[in-house]
A and B are shown apart, each in its own frame.
Chain A
């Protein structure tokens, strides 16, 4: 809506010269379950001009887990997702308050160059948005703009990343073809590969399978399950079954408020808040 697809795509790859080396900082420990926390959101408010879209959000996102954000349209879940890698920065008139820690780095205070964040926190969008380039170039793009020139290194990284995105077998013989020649599902996996190429630690996914057929959707969901071994994933979805299937944790947003968050199994069998129950059972309004 507020970005064109190519701009989104460029931002997700982190347009800077040096690949950011991931610092192995000690993960913050969750007090109650002793699981490492990757992102800690505290008292987060967000405004589009006068309109407050997020109100006092507090959420801890565990490392190497899938966290699903659910809620009706306009509830703030996509806005929240975009605050996690400062994608909202480019929208005029927006304002953010509160803190978001990536490990122990405050992404709004400690970082002046947002591409540093976007390299560590990649993003995949609802509509697949490959560059008008070849399949190979789409994946190699992030590496090249990050200063890597070694063709062998790039070639190996492209193959490795396409394998991670479960796409290699389908495209290995046509890497020089246009990305637009791929099916919708393949294009989306290509975009995931492109996001993975710069080795992010966190992957944000904004309804990544909403425009795909069931088979392509299943592939994306399998991929998410596979990727959480190495990445922390936050996924926005309107599909309740998908949230239930792919995520470990679920957060329910309504009118800019985080109503309830918890273990997915609990949210979908025994939610504690009536609004959550009404939403997931389709009795809203």
Chain B
């Protein structure tokens, strides 16, 4: 016999996984738009974000209901609190995907201008981090979550390099200021998405092991 509480947790699990899928889809479209310098999918990302926002509220209400009615403890408590936090990070990733497609309007206008940093690598890494964080959540996979946390440093480095290179380009080529500033914004949004993926991974570690691993890098 399944207890009502387990049914509630199961429902919450399905909801957060559904939200994860929605956010991954949005980010995938945003990334593809930048790679292709084509903003055809921009409206899809914006519309999808409204659905993500609504769903985020639903997941939060579900968490609050479980906390109030069932007062979970131990692993159950860590799961619900973890979902509550991950929910928030996923919603923010959705917003940042919207920022990216908005910035891509400027970027996609320049079909031949050179991108002075490794944007494809940054897109790939960020997308993979979000995907891996989602997988870590599904599989309660601490090893994968730790990998996500490590990759964050690589994305940070790529963003720093983007900043340096774009700074040079801005001095050299004043005709493409909008293009470069938009690129820099895309890079910053990707870097933030990687931070949110890291938060999700850290929350997965807390869910599984009960260890709070944030802020350990000093």
Contact = CB atoms under 8 A, between A and B. Distances in A.
B78 interface: yes
A280 B210 contact: no
Nearest to B78: A269
Q: How large is the interface on A (under 10, 10 to 19, 20 to 34, 35 or more residues)?
A: 10 to 19
A268 B210 contact: no
Interface in A102-149: none
A270 interface: yes
Interface in A262-285: 268-271, 276-277, 280-282
A244 B5 CA distance: 19
B208 to A, nearest CB: 11
B77 interface: yes
Interface string B57-101: 000000000000001111111100000000000000000000000
A241 B67 CA distance: 12
B3 interface: yes
Nearest to A270: B210
Given A268-B74, A269-B74, A270-B210, 10 more contacts: A269-B73, A270-B78, A277-B74, A277-B75, A280-B74, A281-B72, A281-B73, A281-B74, A281-B75, A281-B76
Contacts of A282: 3, 5
A87 to B, nearest CB: 30
Of residues B3, B73, B75, B78, which shows the largest number of chain A Cβ atoms within 10 Å of its Cβ? B73
Contacts of A175: none
A268 to B, nearest CB: 5
Given A269-B210, A282-B3, A282-B5, A240 B74 contact: no
User: In the complex, which of the residues B3, B72, B75 has the most CB atoms of chain A within 10 Å of its own CB atom?
Assistant: B75
Contacts of A244: 73
Nearest to A243: B73
A277 B208 CA distance: 13
A260 to B, nearest CB: 11
Contacts of B210: 269-270
Contacts of A277: 74-75
The interface size bin for chain B is: 10 to 19
A241 B74 CA distance: 12
Interface of B: 3, 5, 71-78, 210
Nearest to B70: A282
Top 4 nearest A-B pairs by Cβ distance?
A270-B210, A268-B73, A280-B73, A277-B74
B185 to A, nearest CB: 40
Contacts of B77: 268-269
A268 B78 CA distance: 10
Contacts of B73: 240, 244, 268-269, 280-281
A223 B74 CA distance: 27
A275 to B, nearest CB: 12
Contacts of B74: 268-271, 276-277, 280-281
18 contacts: A241-B71, A268-B74, A268-B77, A269-B73, A269-B74, A270-B74, A271-B74, A276-B74, A277-B74, A277-B75, A280-B73, A280-B74, A281-B73, A281-B74, A281-B75, A281-B76, A282-B3, A282-B5
Interface centre among A240, A241, A244, A280 (most CB of B within 10 A): A280
Contacts of B3: 282
A70 to B, nearest CB: 11
Contacts of B78: 269-270
Contacts of A268: 73-74, 77
Contacts of B75: 277, 281
B216 to A, nearest CB: 17
A91 B74 CA distance: 38
Contacts of B72: 281
Interface in A219-266: 240-241, 244
A240 B76 CA distance: 14
B69 to A, nearest CB: 12
A80 B149 CA distance: 47
Contacts of A269: 73-74, 77-78, 210
Contacts of B5: 282
A227 B190 CA distance: 55
A170 B201 CA distance: 54
Nearest to B81: A269
A241 B77 CA distance: 13
A268 B72 CA distance: 9
Nearest to B76: A281
Contacts of A280: 73-74
A5 to B, nearest CB: 32
A240 B71 CA distance: 10
A282 B75 CA distance: 12
